[in-house]
Every structure is written in C-alpha cells, then in structure tokens.
Amino acid sequence: MITKNTVKQIQSLKQPKYRKALQCFVVEGRKMVEELLQSDFETVYLFATERYLEEHPLTDARLETVTEVQMEQMSGQDTPPGVLAVARTKTLSANAMTLGPFTLALDGIANPGNLGTIIRTAEWFGIRQIVCSEDCVELWNPKVIQATMGSVFRMQVATAPLVDFLRKQQQAGKAIYGALLEGENLFRKAHWEPGILVIGSESHGIRPDILPLITQPITIPRAAGSVTESLNASMATGIILAAWASKSE
C-alpha cells in the first residue's frame, strides 16, 4: 500500500533539486514505462491504476495499484496516463565513454523538448554518445524524458566542460564539426571524417570560446530570399545527421 510520504516524495521529483538529492526521476505512460522495464535502469517504484490494468495487464513484482486520485497527485501530466514509474538516475563521465565514429556535443541546449528530440534523433541515426555542456537543460527533466520516447534508456549521455572535452578530442585527431551560418554546404560535402558534431544553443548558437576548436564548419543552406535567422536546434541536428548518414553508408 502506497503511503502519503511516498506520494509526497514522488511529487517532489517535479523539482530539479529533489531529483538531484534523491537521484531519481519519473517516467509516465505505457511506452515509456515498458522501455524503462526493458532497460538496465533501476526501477524504484512502479504504480498503475485499476482502470489502466484492466486495459493493459502488467505483471511485475514491483507493481503497486493506486487510486485515480493518488495517480493525479504523483503525475506531472494534465491527463495522467494511469501508469507511472520512478527510476534511478545514472551519472556517466564523458571520459569513460568509448566514442563511436560520430558523437554529438550540445552547447547550451536549454529547451527540454529540443534535448529530448535530439537524443531520439541521434539514436535513429545510430549515434549512441552525446556530451552536454554544463548549462544544458537537465537530462532528467520530465519533458526531456518524455520527448526521447524511450531513447534515453539506450543512449550514453554525459555532462562535461565542453571546451575541455572538445580540445581533448581535437588533440586525439578527431574532426570537430560545428553547425554555423557560414561554413561548407553539408549537402555538397563529399567526405565526413570521424569526429564530433557541435550543436549550439537555440538563442546564441555556438559560444565564442568553442568556435576556435571547430575544424570543419558546416552549414544548412537556406533558400534565396529567406529571412529566417536560424533553425530549431533539434531540426538542424536531424538534417545534419541525415546528410552525414547518407555519406557514411
């Protein structure tokens, strides 16, 4: 039987300071919970309402049935999906990663929907490692988790001082690609070397102290006469990765 203290604890996970203190985050919805249960993440709690279980039978030793009211109290969604889990966060060091041929480096991505979509997009294109600057939105933010549609449970995502990380990779001989307004047209690029793709923040792009580390600036060409200043960060990432994938086959 779930206690009031447990309900309050899960409610507190809507705030970053409690996610950090308790090292836990909330997962909601059938697909997301299924993805969690199939992953190597630790599931701390698993709750569902009777109504949900009537439509979606779930057999798990950790499962506790809760009332609709209790689910509403714990849920962060306007319309609670009826199933909710609490998982343990993971801390991954960028230095501990074994990098693949292409790695994403995210510089100041502030929008949780963008970060989640970038993680999901990266997995689509076979990229498993992402390094976030220290001022990116928190990985365990509920909106980030939801936007990944489960990809977060299969990806390696680390937070690190980005300048130090990129300098180390450059010294190791990796190409450092940067998405900039002025650079090589990525659709005309004949060859992609193993390296790191830097995506800048939605508002400011790649920060000045990282620009000197970019060895291969690339750009997404826009139509003549277009006055749009920039693309959404997740959209730009998808376009660049599609161009990279087409030349990597």
| pTM (two decimals) | 0.92
pLDDT at 130: 97
Please give the backbone phi and psi of residue 76, each rounded to the nearest 5 degrees, phi first: -105, 5
- pLDDT-derived band at 177 (thresholds 50, 70, 90) equals very high
The percent of residues in the chain predicted with pLDDT above 70, rounded, is: 96
What DSSP assignment string belongs to 118-166? HHHHHHHTT--EEEE-TTSPPTT-HHHHHHHTTGGGTSEEEE--HHHHH
Rounded average pLDDT over 18-28: 97
Per DSSP bridges, beta strands 43-49 and 83-88 are antiparallel
- Extract the tokens encoding 84: 């909710």
Burial of residue 92, with CB atoms counted within 10 A of its CB: 0-12 exposed, 13-18 middle, 19 or more buried:
middle
Burial of 136 (0-12, 13-18, 19+ CB in 10 A): buried
The CATH fold of domain 4-88: 60s Ribosomal Protein L30; Chain: A; (3.30.1330)
Mean pLDDT of the chain: 93
What pLDDT is attached to residue 232? 86
Q: What is the DSSP letter of 73?
A: H
Residue 89 · residue 43 · CB < 8 Å: no
Residues 6+ apart with CB under 8 A from 230: 181, 202, 205, 236
Name beta bridge partners: 63.
46
Q: What is the fold, at CATH topology level, of the domain defined by 94-248?
A: Alpha/beta knot (3.40.1280)
How far apart CA 210 and CA 77 sit, in angstroms, is 37
- Give residue 248's pLDDT: 67
Check residues 132 and 180 and name the one with the higher pLDDT: 132
Residue 249 pLDDT class (50, 70, 90 cuts): low
| % of residues, the chain, pLDDT over 90 | 80
Per-residue pLDDT tens over the stretch 181-203: 888 999 888 788 999 999 998 78
Residue 247 has pLDDT above 80, yes or no: no
User: If pLDDT is split at 50, 70 and 90, which confidence band does 204 have?
Assistant: confident
What are the extents of the domains in the chain?
Answer: 4-88, 94-248
Is 225's pLDDT higher than 80?
Answer: no
Beta bridge partners of 3: none
Cα 41-43-44 angle, rounded to 5 deg: 135
What does the alpha-carbon distance between residue 1 and residue 162 come to, in Å, rounded to a whole number?
45
Q: How far apart are CA 195 and CA 172, in angstroms?
A: 10
